[in-house]
Structure 1
Amino acid sequence: MQTATCTNLRIRSPSDVRVVFHAVLLDILPMVTRRLDSEERGLILPGSVYVWEERGAHAEITGVGIERWTDGIRWGPSRVREGFLFYHEKPPSHYVFPGGIFPSHRQHASQELLIKQTYTAFVDTPRGQRKWHLIAYFTEESVDRLSCIDDYPTLSSLKVPHGKYKSARSVKGRPDHIFNPDDSADSGESFSHLQYVAYDPRSTASSISARSTPSPGIMHAP
């Protein structure tokens, strides 16, 4: 069975993403190499983080990569914030089948609606440049209890080479410095950390602001 790249982790900024990517590149953390099966999807929890490589043109030769991410969860439209895309899980609904009415697959597992946070970057690997994705899940209720990169010395001490993980969004005509800041801005001291504040569906504005570091927790590592 595949496990998440890490668990109980809150991704606060693109700087955190680059640390996780670098840990995967160094084989400190595992990469997800195929689509999640039904049992693995059932293990998605607040704090679950997955890193996967997009299936490229030479996938038939290398056998590496996933065409697209599927988690079996119904999501609303995306909202953009500092290089991330955020999605809200749609409220549980019932489906009518012959012989009865059955709940959607997540209704029995949790009443907390998940939020999905995604980030995409181009990465220089020994096999050439590849497109990597990070998917992080959390809830409004869990955001303050999840751990962060700073709570794990193995991750917080990693020195990430500048420019090695280039945001795919900066390639699409957006200012590069927003998604790939220089070394001084990427130290973690001056980069604004993200917080997801409860979303008001009546408002079209994003409701993400700065927050403090959460308390330590548990992270999965191979």
Structure 2
Amino acid sequence: MSAAQQGSQQPTAWTEPPWSGWIETTGDALLILEAARRGLIPRVTRRLVDAERRMITSGSVFVFDEDESGIKRWTDGLFWSPSRILGNFLLYRETDKRGNRSARVDPEDSPDVMKPDGTLSRPKNDHTSMGIDKQRERTLLGSLTNSYKFKPDGLMKKTFSLTIGGVAQHLISYYKIEDVENGRLRSPSSLPELAALAISAEYLDKTHFRNPPKVEIGADGILRYCGEGDELDPSPSTSSPNTPNSHPPTIPLLTDGHVSEAAKRPKRFLPYGPNRTRKKSNKSPTDGHE
């Protein structure tokens, strides 16, 4: 085989990511996997070389199949915090260097800022100064808010995985918070050409998910994604009688959930009714006492 023929069989170098946008929900991730399954979005079929890693920027999204690509562990040359679970995703936040990956931030290390009135205050985090509320902050950052020494203006990495037919499929996405908040990154569900795709039933099997999404079977018999699943681990105050953590309705409240043996025994039959009074004693209250 000639060198030219060998060269023609080498994979084409990546110059831009397979897709660019913001993966917000499980439905968004499934739309990208479905698009890749249909060949609308190319899958990564080999490990990226150093030069190709430069295309990893805010909005980059990659999809790969472990068997097809031979990739068991995705590497991008960047330094990341430990992962945090958010629904069906894993979140990572970029750190300055490897030495800071496990270094927690001590609040005492944060420099104080002098206010005009002469008092001192702690500087706000970047996401706080952007006016992001707590729920939105959780969607974007999970619990990776101020626990580690993160890289200023660094990336977030959000990953999603499914195993179909014994083969693991992975989605890796990158974003910056300000790009999402400023509308520079669009989600698949907001793009008509992707939102119109019918997600394959094999992708919607609830056994694939830590937090199964809501699905329904239409009149045509096709299973469809309907939205994110309910939050996991509800607090006791929000548990319903049907949740595993709640006690059956027959067990009284303010107990540990166990019914005593005495409570299980049937009540005695009283032939003269429960209101029968006892015969009064002939002794006076002072009998036997001086």
- Tell me which interval the TM-score lies in, with the shorter structure as reference length: 0.5 to 0.7
Q: Does 1:51 align with 2:63?
A: yes
Q: Distance in 1 between matches of 2:190 and 2:164?
A: 25
Q: Aligned in 2, Cα 1:191/1:160: closer, same or farther, shift over 3 Å?
A: same
- The structure in which a higher percent of residues are strand is 1
The runs of 5 or more residues in structure 2 that have no matched partner are 1-12, 100-150, 218-222, 230-290
Which residue number corresponds to residue 182 of structure 1?
215
Q: Does 1:132 align with 2:144?
A: no
- The answer as to whether partners of 2:28 and 2:189 remain within 8 angstroms in 1 is no
Q: Aligned in 2, Cα 1:87/1:13: closer, same or farther, shift over 3 Å?
A: same
Matched residue SS, 1:121:
strand
Q: Report how far residue 118 of structure 1 moved.
A: 0.5
If the length of structure 1 is used for normalisation, what is the TM-score? 0.62
Report 1:185-196 matches (<5 A). 187-188=225-226, 190-191=227-228
Q: Distance in 2 between matches of 1:168 and 1:117?
A: 21
Q: Report how far residue 168 of structure 1 moved.
A: 7.9
The runs of 5 or more residues in structure 1 that have no matched partner are 56-62, 95-109, 193-222
Say which structure, 1 or 2, has more relative contact order (CA 8 Å, 6+ apart): 1
Which residue number corresponds to residue 33 of structure 2?
21
- The answer as to whether partners of 2:156 and 2:176 remain within 8 angstroms in 1 is yes
Q: What residue identity is the alignment partner of 2:27?
A: S
Structure number with greater Rg is 2
Which residue number corresponds to residue 202 of structure 2?
163
Q: Aligned in 2, Cα 1:68/1:20: closer, same or farther, shift over 3 Å?
A: same
Aligned-pair identity (%)? 29
Q: Distance in 2 between matches of 1:80 and 1:137?
A: 16
Q: Distance in 1 between matches of 2:46 and 2:65?
A: 9
Q: Aligned in 2, Cα 1:13/1:160: closer, same or farther, shift over 3 Å?
A: same
Please give the root-mean-square deviation of Cα atoms over the aligned residues, in Å.
2.7
Q: Report how far residue 169 of structure 1 moved.
A: 6.3
- The answer as to whether partners of 1:52 and 1:65 remain within 8 angstroms in 2 is no
- The answer as to whether partners of 1:10 and 1:148 remain within 8 angstroms in 2 is yes
Instruction: Out of 179-188 and 35-44, give the one that drifted further.
Output: 179-188
Q: Aligned in 2, Cα 1:12/1:167: closer, same or farther, shift over 3 Å?
A: farther
Which residue number corresponds to residue 151 of structure 1?
190
Q: Report how far residue 166 of structure 1 moved.
A: 5.0
Which residue number corresponds to residue 71 of structure 1?
76
- The structure in which a higher percent of residues are helix is 2
Matched residue SS, 2:36:
helix
| Count of paired positions | 158
Q: Report how far residue 20 of structure 1 moved.
A: 0.6
- The answer as to whether partners of 1:123 and 1:165 remain within 8 angstroms in 2 is no
